[in-house]
Amino acid sequence: MNVILAETAGFCFGVERAINLVHEQIDKADGKRKIFTYGPIIHNAEVVRELEEAGVFSVEGPEDFERIKGSVLIIRSHGVSRDIYEQAKAHEIEVIDATCPFVKKIHKIVDEESLNGKHIVIIGDRNHPEVAGIIGWAHGDVDVLLNEEEAERFTLQENKPICVVAQTTFNLMKFQYIVEIIEKKGYDINVINTICNATQARQKEAESVSRAVDAMIVIGDPKSSNTQKLYDICKKYCKDTYYIQTVRDLELANLQSGISVGITAGASTPNNIIQEVFLNVRGKKL
């Protein structure tokens, strides 16, 4: 069996940085100070479980700040809105900011462009924590567009220029389609492609590998937005594409004799999980 493991599979820079910051705080606290994360540090249940075993738990929102007063709060790589920092400070919480630098860049763009009178349009999933955080840096109303249908329905009553940004993990091709639809409406528009380089490289490689194999395995947490997008891309080019979280979900019986198999993984999938799947597929007796 020929098995191709994507070179871009696994932790991206922002996720690895966030995980490292959590472990630094665990070592620094030495069990004497409570550590929390704002939401799960990454969208991976295995990693979250391991951190909970080390005494690091998550809070869901500012309504929990009174309960964790005086503790350490780590902002996850997805980032948060401006007011979360302010409320944490008011509750004497020490904030360790693990926001991905690519997301931070979007916060700065939205902050400055909206102050300059531009209407902000975010291409992404309004229910994703990264997008919720980005919205919280705008001075004024924001529109979030997920697909071409929503872009077709988009109208702006005020005669204001528009600044378009994207969720860092959004599908590049879909982003381009949506931007084209908005541009045809004749607005004064400034488009800033804020999809991170790692995401673009991962998606391009997923397409390339899935075109070249008989079956494709995509590894990641069910709640991971970027992994879901990888699955959608792979499924488009390889009918036999499987979405798994760990090796426990791997059904080797689905992989027939003599086929080629590709493997990729989302940005929040640990390398040990990827390697375990890779070794099990490669070692399948056919």
- The helix (run of H) or strand (run of E) holding residue 50 is helix 45-53
- Residue carrying the six token digits 């590894």: 219
Whole-number Å distance between alpha carbons of 130 and 135: 9
In one letter, which amino acid is 151?
A
Whole-number Å distance between alpha carbons of 101 and 76: 11
- Active-site residue (options: 130, 149, 150, 276): 130
| Strands, sheet with 215-219, edge to edge from the N-terminal-most edge strand | 2-5, 260-265, 215-219, 241-244
**189 token code pair:** 């528009």
Q: Could you confirm whether 152 is annotated as catalytic?
A: no
CA-based end-to-end distance of the chain: 8
**37 token code pair:** 């994360």
94: exposed, middle or buried (C-beta count within 10 Å: 0-12, 13-18, 19+)?
middle
Strand, coil or helix: what is 241?
A: strand
Chain CA centroid to CA 60, Å: 18
- The DSSP code for 63 is G
Whole-number Å distance between alpha carbons of 250 and 14: 28
Whole-number Å distance between alpha carbons of 211 and 225: 22
**167 token code pair:** 């969720």
Whole-number Å distance between alpha carbons of 156 and 34: 47
Please identify every residue annotated as catalytic: 130
